[in-house]
């Protein structure tokens, strides 16, 4: 017999901002099984269910991890419904409609030598309390895993597409040319049909069988160059892409310029006409300055914190949502679109913000680029140092919290006066120059992230560059 607490503790796998993450070598079959057993054990006294749904991204390691999880599910006498390669929000939405838990095998945007597990209760994402319950679960399970070949069920993919195509007129995107940067996204087989069903002409861009770790919060320069070239070559009105598991969008305007995720979220929330927002502290301050929303609550970075804030918003507002700087949009309440009810989906989603941006541009008879340029001139940028030990990041931030001006001078900033220090998540410094510098260790990988905000694009870029280079 094996024990969940011992196996998980010895594995080195840890929870990040969203899900358990680690090296592929750490996710041995018994580790995956231990996580599945611990997760389901924690639900047994709160929910009644006979089925558990599971899906994967396109990472080479994901199928074997799914098999181990399914073996654990079936060892508990439960039925495992396998949806194959599927976007995380599609799995979560289908499971919520069926009132069952689910497990997504994905490492999201982190490199292919890593992977992870995301867990959903029948009512949505697990909380930070649930994460600790999984880590502390003390469950014995059989060391023999009855691993079998898997058969893919199509229902979840169909439900996800129908969730959005049913909201709009079939000609909403008529005349639009949309490029779909497919790479290795988990939703790449769904997006073409979804956009075409709304009248668009689609062009497939750079599909690959090698896993590509797209980070929508730190878009590579090579992807910026590609988007501009694609837009010109194919005369595109829009480019759509996502990260690896399809819960974070990456969209470009008519010029092939990628939109920042928080700006996309702002425009989506405005189009949805929600009353209140919950967003991480790293998001652009133009959101609360816009005056569009009755309330804007700031949280720590990570979807569990945004979702937790929904409980507070629900007591005062009828409609509310959230999004992250990476563009993932979380619909906290039901909303009405074109006289039709769109059910809440309190987990990151990539398709909703893309469609609402297109709908907003059409309703105002304007270009996406013009929607963005009409916003107050406040710009953000971010990047990361990869393979940077989390402990080292924490030491730097702890020291800088006590001496923020000293850190800025060490990084090469001159004549800086710190107006405020925000330690909600990492270290966020507001300067007298109206610039913002924010340092934070990644919750998913050994990376140090830098976020910057300024009144010009170039200045925001330079702040990030100077900070990470020094």
Q: What is the pLDDT of residue 434?
A: 92
Q: What is the pLDDT of residue 70?
A: 98
pLDDT digits (tens, 9 = 90+) for 227-261: 999 999 999 999 999 999 999 999 999 999 999 99
pTM, full prediction: 0.92
Alpha-carbon span 27 to 11, nearest angstrom:
7
Which of 224, 254, 244, 225 lies closest to 357 in space, CA to CA? Answer: 254
Alpha-carbon span 438 to 464, nearest angstrom:
9
Q: Where residue 445 falls among pLDDT bands split at 50, 70, 90?
A: confident
Q: Mean pLDDT throughout 42-67?
A: 96
Q: Which fold has domain 166-373?
A: Alpha-D-Glucose-1,6-Bisphosphate; Chain A, domain 3 (3.40.120)
pLDDT digits (tens, 9 = 90+) for 266-287: 999 999 999 999 999 999 999 9
List the beta strands (DSSP E) in 78-228: 79-85, 102-105, 114-121, 124-125, 140-141, 177-183, 201-207
Buried b (16+ CB within 10 A) or exposed e, 263-281: bbbbbbbbbbebbbbbbbb
Alpha-carbon span 87 to 78, nearest angstrom:
23
Q: Which fold has domain 379-469?
A: TATA-Binding Protein (3.30.310)
Q: What is the pLDDT of residue 444?
A: 64
DSSP-derived letter for residue 24 is G
Alpha-carbon span 330 to 125, nearest angstrom:
11
pLDDT digits (tens, 9 = 90+) for 29-48: 999 999 999 999 999 889 99
Q: Mean pLDDT throughout 174-181?
A: 98
Q: Mean pLDDT throughout 25-32?
A: 98
What stretches of 86-175 show up as alpha helix (H) in DSSP?
A: 88-98, 128-136, 155-165
Active site residues: 108
Q: Where are the domains of the chain?
A: 2-155, 166-373, 379-469
pLDDT digits (tens, 9 = 90+) for 363-413: 999 999 999 999 988 999 888 898 888 889 899 999 989 999 988 988 888
The CATH number that domain 2-155 falls under is 3.40.120.10
Other beta carbons within 10 angstroms of residue 177's beta carbon come to: 17
Shared fold status for 2-155 and 166-373: yes
Q: Give the torsion sign (CA, 17, 92, 320, 218).
A: positive
């Amino acid at each position: 017999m094996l024990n969940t607490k011992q196996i998980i503790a010895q594995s080195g796998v840890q929870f990040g901002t969203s899900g358990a993450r680690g090296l592929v070598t750490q996710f041995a079959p018994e580790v995956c099984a231990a996580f599945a057993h611990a997760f389901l054990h924690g639900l047994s006294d709160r929910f009644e269910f006979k089925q558990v749904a599971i899906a994967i991204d396109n990472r080479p390691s994901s199928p074997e991890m799914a098999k181990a999880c399914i073996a654990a599910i079936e060892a508990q006498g439960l039925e495992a419904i396998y949806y194959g390669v599927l976007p995380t929000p599609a799995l979560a939405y289908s499971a919520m409609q069926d009132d069952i838990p689910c497990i997504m095998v994905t490492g999201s945007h982190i490199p292919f030598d890593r992977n992870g597990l995301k867990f959903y209760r029948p009512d949505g994402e697990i909380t930070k309390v649930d994460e600790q319950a999984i880590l502390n679960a003390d469950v014995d399970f059989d060391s023999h895993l009855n691993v079998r070949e898997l058969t893919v069920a199509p229902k979840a993919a169909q439900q996800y597409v129908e969730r959005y195509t049913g909201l709009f007129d079939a000609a909403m995107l008529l005349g639009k040319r949309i490029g779909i940067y497919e790479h290795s996204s988990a939703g790449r087989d769904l997006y073409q049909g979804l956009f075409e069903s709304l009248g668009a002409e689609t062009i497939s861009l750079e599909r690959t069988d090698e896993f590509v770790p797209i980070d929508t919060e730190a878009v590579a320069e090579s992807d910026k160059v590609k988007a501009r070239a694609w837009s010109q070559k194919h005369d595109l009105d829009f480019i759509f892409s996502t990260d690896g598991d399809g819960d974070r969008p990456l969209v470009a305007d008519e010029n092939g310029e990628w939109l920042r995720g928080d700006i996309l979220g702002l425009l989506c929330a405005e189009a949805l006409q929600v009353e209140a927002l919950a967003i991480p502290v790293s998001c652009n301050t133009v959101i609360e300055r816009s005056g569009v929303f009755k309330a804007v609550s700031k949280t720590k970075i990570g979807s569990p914190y945004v979702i937790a804030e929904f409980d507070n918003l629900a007591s005062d507002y009828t409609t509310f949502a959230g999004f992250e700087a990476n563009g993932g949009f979380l619909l906290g309440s039901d909303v009405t679109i074109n006289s039709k009810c769109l059910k809440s989906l309190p987990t990151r989603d990539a398709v909703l913000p893309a469609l609402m941006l297109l709908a907003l541009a059409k309703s105002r008879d304007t270009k996406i680029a013009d929607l963005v340029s009409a916003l107050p001139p406040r710009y953000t940028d971010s990047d990361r140092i990869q393979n940077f030990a989390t402990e080292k990041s924490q030491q730097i931030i702890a020291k800088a919290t006590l001496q923020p001006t000293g850190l800025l001078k060490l990084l090469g900033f001159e004549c800086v006066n710190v107006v405020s220090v925000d330690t909600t998540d990492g270290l966020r410094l507001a300067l007298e120059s109206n610039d913002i510098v924010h340092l934070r260790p990644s919750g998913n990988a050994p990376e140090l992230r830098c976020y910057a905000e300024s009144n010009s694009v170039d200045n925001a870029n330079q702040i990030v560059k100077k900070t990470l280079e020094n």
